Structure 1
């Protein structure tokens, strides 16, 4: 019988971390990009929302590709969370500016 060599636990955790960064971080990034575009695009509100929602699929795709193209899981998380923080700041700024 052949013995099966299993993958190290560190490798499995790195792949799991990348997958979580892609799924959860990508969703966060795509939703924040959609919110920012809907708030900041200088077109009619309905058109801005539709354009933002359609563009969110591109942001999600790019986040997933980024997470699995990085050299490390740390860089994948960093590359998803930093733009998400910037987009959250921009969304908060738009909300703060629109308050009466």
Structure 2
């Protein structure tokens, strides 16, 4: 090899230039997980319309929805995808735990 040429395999062994951004980090979430966060992001006038939307849009029961949502609060991919919603829900969860 001459001094003016580069080894074509050298770039494969190099570390990535920077950490993945939010778009790449959210790749770890399923479409259902993203839909759960989208439902939670909305403002609801009461529990009835929200439960109806959960059943119609996600096709799951509200109980299952809250189980999935609670698991998402501890998922770093969910935090990267929607930090405002996840941090708000973490604060609410922590406040409820502190009251017990």
| TM-score bracket for the superposition, by shorter chain length | 0.3 to 0.5
* Bigger Rg, structure 1 or 2: 2
Q: Which has the higher helix share?
A: 1
Tell me the TM-score normalized by structure 1.
Answer: 0.33
The one of the two structures with greater contact order (alpha-carbon pairs below 8 A, sep at least 6) is 1
TM-score (norm. length: structure 2):
0.33
